[in-house]
Chains A and B, each alone.
Chain A
């Protein structure tokens, strides 16, 4: 929440020698953040962010109280000028019978006044304007001024337009229609707090906004000045559902102090007398069924020291709490504290009190020490959950790939497979982000669309994909996916995968032709499927790999093979094979002929002839030409038998 107030207004309740910049600095460090301080004529405007727990500071008086406490503990003389509003007789002499529902409204204060509509005095108008409230007429301006100054929202009805002797506070019924004072029509949801006149005519949307049927105007002669303290939960629901975010709603949904309601009423009456020739023609009605008992907390000085990290003198702790409005009793090594009503939602535990003491003492005055390192914990680099992820990302960078981060939430057309299998959001921001993805590649394809102008590029991502489970959280699995835009990129992509796996110490990788879907290959480690390569078109190739599996298989384990001193013999063998035969099968067959075949690779492929590059080597003797000739014949024989191969 934000509040803007003029320095001169604050000083009506705060007597201090501190300058405006002292006040801004001390409040920021010990209480609430003054985000901007600017000059306005010969005055200054504080723009303050108030945290949601401190709705009591959404007011001039609240801030004056807080400033008094924090300034005086920071070396400045400061005193609170306590408000003393003229009190009007409380009683039952009231022209309207008001029936409250204490489940919905904690307290109602009301009074009837005869008034004259006039221009609002300049000083009041300027204060409101600086606060970001547009002055309208003196009758409405009083309600806004009261809200800013005391922190309690207030409302004013045209008494004659109400034209009733009965008002009934109740929950709305679904579908009931209202027209707010800015002439917008709304259909109610059924949980809203409304007030009707007994005949079904709704005259107020409580805590949020007044209605056009009872709004004051230039012709108003008599008013019902009305202060309602509401149940926050209902206010939040109504305000968010209908999209009416008035300041009253924002305060009421946080829970304002009911003890403050009567003060706000007295201050309002004072102002109506001052600027609208107001004359009370009723008693002040005060319906307040259930007062909250104050929170009582006890806390030891030992506990305070433990959390803060150093000793704070007991008398200082006591003084700080008193200045903030708490009742305090000190007994030996403990503080017995009673929490004022205005802090009842915010302070209920020992830790809450420690915060009050520590912040006013000044966080900048506390020590700064690094905590001790955990003991008895080992550190194994390769067992680190995140090690391989970083390792592969870096590898990909040096293979020329650029990393992307795409959204985990995707539209229907980027979800692979039927969306019934997807985890979907109940409340998506838009249909573009409705499903949790089950695959990364569609997202990478959308990056392709975003970079149409680029003729060639390589991208990758390592992120979670999500798989729905019955009555449980989904499986979250790291997927590793990449996309290359370049013509005939299949073997480049395959080569990257081979290089990555080799570097991770995984050697038993193999590829099988895909039997359905887009052209490409399934990737296996031994017989376990770990991913796929897809050749989507002549110039787009992608892959996706289950990175959790890869992480499990990756190893830094090294093996040493003695370096043989006997030379290699190398020859190239041209083999004629039909096109349905996979090169990998031929390579495996050649390799399996004899352990003396140290390595074999495909050198070249032209029409139906494939040329294999074969390396022969023995670890314990020199191979002769005769040895090689024998091996060659055995290879030929095997290939003839298995693949009906021919030789040129």
Chain B
């Protein structure tokens, strides 16, 4: 009896092992969430079949839509198979860095404006100018300024696939219920006034882009006529330029209308689904607004609780026209590690110009860069997506200035320093003046040493 039982158990274990392996293989093909190390594409046995690795960061909605688009490409070109790999924002860059070290970068990567210069300086991205010249990458319907934003030193290294702008997403339902109105292009004083009103009437607090890096600081500084970075160092001439920014937090915490940092200790950074605008079980951990980017409206609306409508408007600033900008939201780049560069370029072209593809993507990454495509899909977009397009075209475009130059190396580290100073300020450990001084001194050291 013992022997038979043992044999049975061994058989069950072996079978379950095999089924687990099989399942894993299937899951890998459909690009399931896994923190595996990015692997280089393999050239398969048949000469024609190509396997491309495509990596991107995103939320649930984007992942689904991108995967469907890649499947669509494979139905049109059956010899191309994709290994779609996605991760959250932070993990994505770690994975990519590891892949760079191992010379196993994916063929196509989603690229961000803030890291573009660093990656180009290290010679990791392919210059797409030859492909534009010979027609395989058609950027004729893309605005010249947008093409330029993906260029460094006259080479085009990244193709913009979505135009964004900074957007203040807010709880429209909450404001309407309490007869509070806001308008586009509000100043910081108006914003603070509204925040206080919301806090008094409903107990909901505010979130001034807490721990989301240097986007809001850059925006605020532009409103004062100062650049964040100029020629590889701070545009600010002294720590005093940073003080107004830190004062917002100091005031907010003191007067109680800004969320306390404890709320953020419990959620994952930069996650749409855990943003205090849509997540949290009592008013004092919720915010009536959040400062992110226009392309996240759809995802935010999806993550919002039942009955809550999310509205969109501009970030507050002293001078909205100087502050606001159109941002190439995400780029697609082809990497130098890729062994199928031509095919990869075709895929990039597909994402930019194919109407069928964009009917699936529906501007989740931002308004499509190609005006032809943008027009074609506008009628297919649902209400929220049309709202975003309208926001970009009618609110931001007529009232903005060109985007800041790509950030220098070390900007990442300064961003983290800024987050820490915000945290210390909100916990009451330092004052706004001290935070400004520390940012100026230590930040300058970081950026100038690179």
A and B are interacting partners: no
Interface residues of A (CB under 8 A from B): none
